A and B are shown apart, each in its own frame.
Chain A
Amino acid sequence: MTTTTDTPAPETAAGRPLPRLPWNKHLVAIAVLAVLLVPLPLILPSAQASVAVRVLIFALMSIGWNMMSGFGGMFSFGHAAYFGIGAYTSAWLLVEHRASPWIGMLAGMVMAAAFAALIGFLALRYKLRGAYFALATFAFAEMLRLWATNSDFVNRAVGYHVPLRPDSSWWWIQFEPASPNYFWIALGLTVAALVISVQFVRSRAGQFTKAARDDEDAAAAVGIPVMRYKLLTMALSAAITSVAGAFYVQYFLFIDPDLAFGSSVSIQAILPAVIGGVATIWGPVIGAVVMGPLNDVTATVLRNPPPALEFLQGRSGLDVIVYGTLLIIIVLLLPKGIYGTIRQRWSRR
């Protein structure tokens, strides 16, 4: 739980004086945060350490989503497609071809980026906007789920188990269950994703993408090739989310079509960014820090419920009810998210 106190503190201080171009300050904040978090798994008991890893997976997924839907303004309701492609590509290469998960991760990024570019091309070519765009992304994720569930090529509904190795190995991303290495790998990937998103937003491509988001016609009129930059954004976004999928498989050692492509996965990619703040660098991270532990807290409550709720013992679903309530409250009361609202307050002073 130290993450909660660590994350916002350096950032709010960094984001305050110059809201216009605080980019290098973001990078400094990321570096400080990364260094501070390195000893975390050595301090935390192992149960909390696994929560920390889950937080990082959420953050990674949502950083990807935020790039396309926040900075790019293209609301995706189907990021499960990219998460699942990352998970399935690496699992397939590992199980069927004995390829290292690192190679699988890279292959998954390429596959997810290509798939996103394909969907993006079709969606932009046929000018899908708003609800139609969201529904189209949703439909593609669901089609992948249905296809994976009924195809022998990827083991149907059974999915893949990662074969266990006798020894620990960085090359195969496999350690004893409570090893801090998992956390460090996830931290490294998340930091890389954060750096990429900072660099993306301050780059020409990122600025063009934001311009196209805010006024597509104006952007096109000043000569920005809108289509190219939107596709680039989608591909990058998909690649980041696919890394979360590939890591998920190595951490939980198991994947099936619902875990990879289910609509709940898309929701998990959306929620952290919305809770933390859409189209901000730190929103997905803060949202993930809020969401990650909830699961554990509710599970504890349901394992030993208070007397009034005795009948709920051993049931599931409470965590998602809390997510849903949180989502509604945030959208109604803090539409800019936790970090977005705080930043706004600071810059107004």
Chain B
Amino acid sequence: MTTPADQGHAAAGSGGVATLDPDEVRPTRGRTVPWLRIAVIAALVVLAVVLAYVRSGSGVVVVQAMATGVLIGGVYGLIAMGLTLIFGVLDIVNFAHGSFLALALFLTFGLTQAGLHPYLALAVSVPAMFVLGLLVQRGILAGAMGKPLENQLLITLGISLIIENALLLFFGGNPRSVALPGDRGVPIFEAVANLSRILAFVGALILAGLLYLLLQRTRLGTAIRAVAANDTGAQLVGIDTRVIYAVTFALGTACAGAAGTLVAPLVTIEPTTGSLFNIVAFVVVVLGGMGNVVGALVGGLVIGLAEQLGGIYLPGQSPLLSVFIVFVLVLFLRPQGLFGRSA
């Protein structure tokens, strides 16, 4: 297992200084909160907002973009937390994450068709995706642990192809939607946001907080962080790393499942919807620092904003284009992410 870990370090390292996994998983250890960095990022966000105001000349447009961006950004954060957790602990770049989300979308759709309230579907989708994650990790990925990064990438790619196209095969390509009973527009300052959007945001934040508590305050979370830091060491003190790998992957998948149910009322449900979220989640994960769970949440908010404000900067272009521009800049200028600290 040293090889992929080394690769992870080499990849995350900047100028030969390697970042250590514990820092990536637990960035704010109380020792030093990176205030300067937070201030710089906040300043950049303010600058971006001001520029958007200058570009559009309309306050309402900017406030609307910010509201929409932050609200969806919370969901991006939840998805990316799962992805970054998997990367931090298993060193796997999980291309199947979005397809798990798509699966949860269709599951939610099916359950609401059966008369269940969309948010009650969480009680089904989260455990279901957790179990699926366990099965996939134990059944398929466990055989590739410790192999080169490309192997695992290709396997998760294969899984995503299978899931996405199985959905296409069984449900067809017709877009579907889930209606939230009692959904309405809620005014925020001068802007309007749908209640479903606000609830998705709140739900994502609550689940993200629960995940954070799980990682920080429980024995299981401590074990997960220990494996992320040094799996051989963790094994030596009696942690069954195979169980931790499986549980971590399942937790990450459950995040995607929860996010899928939360966004079901917001998006058109198609087999390819998941891959859009997957792309954004990758951007968020790199932005937040691979393996950095809190960074993923902050990164989600930043990318949500970037997507919406980008629509103002580059009218007529897809909002995703601005996401990629941010992505490429971050990859080149700060590949260790905004919060990944060098040791």
**Contacts from A to B (Cβ < 8 Å):** 75, 77, 122, 125-132, 134-136, 138-140, 142-143, 146-147, 149-150, 263, 267, 270, 274, 312, 315-318, 320-321, 323-325, 327-328, 331-332, 335
B60 interface residue, CB < 8 Å from A?
no
Shortest CB distance A271–B (Å): 9
- Please report which residues of chain B, range 150-168, place their CB below 8 angstroms from some CB of chain A when the two chains form the complex: 150-151, 153-155, 157-162, 164-168
Residue of A at shortest CB range from B143? Answer: A332
For B162, give its contact among A131, A134, A143, A324 (CB under 8 Å).
A324
Shortest CB distance B226–A (Å): 23
For B147, give its contact among A75, A315, A335 (CB under 8 Å).
A335
Question: Contacts A130-B10, A134-B93, A150-B318; is A317 near B144 (CB within 8 Å)?
Answer: no
Question: Contacts A131-B93, A135-B286, A318-B169; is A150 near B317 (CB within 8 Å)?
Answer: yes
- Please report which residues of chain B, range 1-22, place their CB below 8 angstroms from some CB of chain A when the two chains form the complex: 7-8, 10-11, 14-15
B325 interface residue, CB < 8 Å from A?
yes
A-binding segment of B105-113, B213-221, B327-335:
B327-335
Shortest CB distance A116–B (Å): 15
Residue of B at shortest CB range from A312? Answer: B169
Residues of A within 8 Å of B332, CB to CB, are 122, 125-126, 128
Residues of A within 8 Å of B172, CB to CB, are 315
B48 interface residue, CB < 8 Å from A?
no
For B165, give its contact among A122, A263, A317 (CB under 8 Å).
A317
B320 interface residue, CB < 8 Å from A?
yes
For B279, give its contact among A129, A142, A324 (CB under 8 Å).
A142
Residues of B within 8 Å of A135, CB to CB, are 93, 282, 286, 327, 331
Which one of B157, B167, B271 has the greatest number of beta carbons of chain A within 10 Å? B157
**A332 in contact with B320 (CB, 8 Å):** no
**A and B contact pairs by CB, cutoff 8 A, 17 listed:** A75-B153, A129-B10, A131-B153, A135-B93, A146-B318, A146-B321, A317-B271, A318-B169, A324-B162, A324-B165, A325-B162, A327-B155, A327-B161, A328-B140, A328-B155, A328-B159, A331-B151
**A130 in contact with B11 (CB, 8 Å):** yes
B275 interface residue, CB < 8 Å from A?
yes
**A130 in contact with B161 (CB, 8 Å):** no
**A324 in contact with B158 (CB, 8 Å):** yes
**A126 in contact with B144 (CB, 8 Å):** no
**A150 in contact with B316 (CB, 8 Å):** yes
**B316 in contact with A321 (CB, 8 Å):** no
B313 interface residue, CB < 8 Å from A?
no
Residue of B at shortest CB range from A142? Answer: B324
Complex Cα gap A283–B171 (Å): 35
Shortest CB distance B282–A (Å): 6
**A139 in contact with B316 (CB, 8 Å):** no
Residues of B within 8 Å of A315, CB to CB, are 168-170, 172
**B327 in contact with A139 (CB, 8 Å):** yes
Residues of A within 8 Å of B283, CB to CB, are 139
Complex Cα gap A56–B211 (Å): 49
B149 interface residue, CB < 8 Å from A?
yes
Residues of B within 8 Å of A130, CB to CB, are 7-8, 10-11, 149
- Please report which residues of chain B, range 179-212, place their CB below 8 angstroms from some CB of chain A when the two chains form the complex: none
Residues of A within 8 Å of B150, CB to CB, are 75, 134
**A324 in contact with B161 (CB, 8 Å):** yes
Query: Known pairs A130-B7, A131-B93. 20 more at Cβ < 8 A?
Result: A126-B335, A127-B15, A129-B7, A132-B11, A134-B93, A135-B93, A146-B324, A150-B317, A274-B154, A317-B165, A318-B169, A320-B162, A321-B161, A321-B169, A324-B160, A327-B157, A328-B154, A328-B155, A328-B162, A335-B147
**A139 in contact with B275 (CB, 8 Å):** no
